[in-house]
Amino acid sequence: MTYALPKLIIAFIVTFVLLFPIRAMADTRAETLIETQAASALAILANPDLSQTQKTTQFNEKIEQLAAVNIIARFVLGPYAKTASPAELAEFTNVFHDYALSIYQSELGKYGKETLKVQKSVDRKPGDSIVFTQLSGGALKAPSLVKWRVLNINGEAHVVDIEVGGIWLTQHQRAEITAIIDKNNGAISAAIDSLCAKSHKCGDAKRLAKS
């Protein structure tokens, strides 16, 4: 009995030391990513010294670092990600990439002069956090809340979804893309064509291939 208590205390301390830093680090990493990288992505869009082309290029580079676009591309295919051939998956990912960047730019482009402040973060599970941020100032009449879903992928934190105005963008993209594939009896090519129709880059590539 006299030995049981110290053993219990040591076990508690070991458990605390082992578990607590991991949880705290997951939150901190996700919060830091949003505080630094997301804020600098918004700053690019607000920079008056940059031309529109420069803004697009720099913003896209930043989003490439920030978001796990390949993982998002597989997610938006829903159940069809499992049935897609490697070639289809590669083509879809390539086309989706441009579309996703344009959507992020369109959704986040309305911000820029605003100040992004991390309010808190919640761990859904280890390596899966939701960072709550508030954008205020600039052109906003009232503060706007934006949530970021951050996953730890191979030791690096990446954004996989953003909630703006109550809508999770990646989930929304999945709803649209799977609806197109459903409507076309499971043909992923239909989703690729729809994405192509929205992407100038893809349209140019197709036109070049035809000529």
Q: Give the binding site for another protein (CB under 8 A).
A: 68, 70-72, 74-75, 81, 103, 106, 122, 124, 130, 147, 149, 151, 153-154, 160-161, 163, 166-168, 171-172, 175-180, 182-183, 191, 194-195, 198
3-class SS of residue 121: strand
> Least distance in Å: CB of 43 to another protein?
23
> Least distance in Å: CB of 113 to another protein?
19
> Least distance in Å: CB of 157 to another protein?
12
CA distance 128 to 70: 17
Q: Which is nearer to another protein, 23 or 183 (CB)?
A: 183
CB of 160 closer than 8 Å to CB of 67:
yes
> Least distance in Å: CB of 154 to another protein?
6
36's tokens: 């630094």
CA distance 201 to 147: 30
* Phi, psi for residue 196 in degrees, rounded to 5: -60, -40
Q: Which is nearer to another protein, 43 or 81 (CB)?
A: 81
Q: Which is nearer to another protein, 52 or 211 (CB)?
A: 52
163's tokens: 């909630």
3-class SS of residue 35: helix
Q: Which is nearer to another protein, 38 or 181 (CB)?
A: 181
Q: Which is nearer to another protein, 40 or 178 (CB)?
A: 178
Q: Is the dihedral of CA 24, 43, 108, 134 positive or negative?
A: positive
Name beta bridge partners: 135: 116, 144
Query: What is the amino acid identity at position 137?
Result: G
CB of 195 closer than 8 Å to CB of 173:
no
Q: Which is nearer to another protein, 42 or 67 (CB)?
A: 67
> Least distance in Å: CB of 32 to another protein?
20
> Least distance in Å: CB of 36 to another protein?
22
